[in-house]
Amino acid sequence: MSELGCSTISFRHRSLPEALAAISRLGITGIDLGGLPEVCEHYPTDRGGDIAELVATIRDFRIDVWALNVDPGPLNDPQLDRETLASRGAELAAHAARLGADLIVPCGAPSRIPFVDETSDLARTAGGLRLLSSVTSEHGVRLLVEAPHHHRFCHSADRVRALLGLAPAEVAGLVYDVSHVVAGGIDETEFAAEFADRIEHVHLRDAVPGDINRSIGRGNADFTGVIGTLHEHGYAGRYVLELETHDVAETNRETVAGESRDTLSALLRA
């Protein structure tokens, strides 16, 4: 059975020790560590400095870091020069290696509008991924790109196809977030089947068209179909609860996360 983990973004309003304690109470021992500006800063988004204290905190909870989910900068932005991106990538890769984690990056700026035009921006995004891949490989870290993303440049299936065509599997694996696919009006099981050979990591959150922030079972996502389709195509990788949801009170978040764990664990066993 594939493993089920939890992103610390699920508890983004809590300190890292509080988030790790909540995840531990769920009986989950694998995490994605969130470090996205204005979203979740459990990994320090100001970069720089030593992460010894961060590593020690995570080890105290006996939790494995599966992936470091961060943003090195808008990959399709012409103002992000290669030297800056390489420097940021090297630091992130070094920290990911110390944590024993993959490195997840987003698929462009937090806007669907190109800086230049769609073709140019796709080429620049792919070039950024190739540069980051060359840096991460030096540290023995696997680079993953999350696409589509409902609020970023590569928001559609067409742009994902084009991006992956420019950045093959040896450059980056694909993170499939079910909520972003559903929110974009894309059929989630068809997407899973089409991109199964590139998917290396799965984020689980529910959604409806236009809204990615629903708890499991409170949206339209067909998790049975997604998990079944991925299994049929040989996927045996990890699934991660990323419950950055807006439909539950913070005081109920742990209870809802537990219900989500139970629902999805049953699907994975089946």
Question: Does the pLDDT at position 224 exceed 70?
Answer: yes
Q: Which residue has the tokens 């400095």?
A: 49
The type of residue at 33 is L
pLDDT at residue 128, rounded to an integer: 98
Per-residue pLDDT of 43-96, as tens digits, reads 987 766 789 999 999 999 999 999 999 999 999 999 999 999 999 999 999 999
Which three-class secondary structure string do you get for the chain? Answer: CCCEEEEHHHHCCCCHHHHHHHHHHCCCCEEEEEEECCCEECCCCCCCCCCHHHHHHHHHCCCEEEEEEECCCCCCCCCCCHHHHHHHHHHHHHHHHHHCCEEEEECCCCCCCCCCCHHHHHHHHHHHHHHHHHHHHHCCCCEEEECCCCCCCCCCHHHHHHHHHHCCCCCCEEEEEHHHHHHCCCCHHHHHHHCCCCEEEEEECEEECCEEEECCCCCCCCHHHHHHHHHHCCCCCCEEECCCCCCCCHHHHHHHHHHHHHHHHHHHHC
Half-sphere exposure of 62 (CA within 13 A, CB side): 4
Domain encompassing residue 210:
4-269
pLDDT at residue 47, rounded to an integer: 66
**Measured between alpha carbons, how far is 36 from 73 in angstroms, rounded to an integer?**
10
Domain count, the chain: 1
pLDDT at residue 178, rounded to an integer: 98
**Measured between alpha carbons, how far is 236 from 173 in angstroms, rounded to an integer?**
14
**Measured between alpha carbons, how far is 190 from 86 in angstroms, rounded to an integer?**
35
Q: What Rg, from alpha-carbon coordinates, does the chain have?
A: 17
How much is the mean pLDDT over the chain? Answer: 96
Per-residue pLDDT of 108-156, as tens digits, reads 999 999 999 999 999 999 999 999 999 999 999 999 999 999 999 999 9
Question: Does the pLDDT at position 234 exceed 60?
Answer: yes
How would you label 89-101 residue by residue, b for 16+ Cβ within 10 Å and e otherwise? bbbbbbbbbbbeb
Question: Does the pLDDT at position 205 exceed 60?
Answer: yes
List the structure tokens of 93: 């890769």
Provide the β-strand partners of residue 76: none
Per-residue pLDDT of 165-185, as tens digits, reads 999 999 999 999 999 999 999
pLDDT at residue 48, rounded to an integer: 67
The CATH code of the domain that includes 173 is 3.20.20.150
pLDDT at residue 1, rounded to an integer: 54
Average pLDDT over residues 197-217: 97
Question: Does the pLDDT at position 245 exceed 70?
Answer: yes
Confidence of residue 23 (pLDDT cuts 50, 70, 90): very high
pLDDT at residue 46, rounded to an integer: 75
Average pLDDT over residues 184-209: 98
Residue 70 CB neighbour total at 10 angstroms? 23
Provide the β-strand partners of residue 67: 32, 102
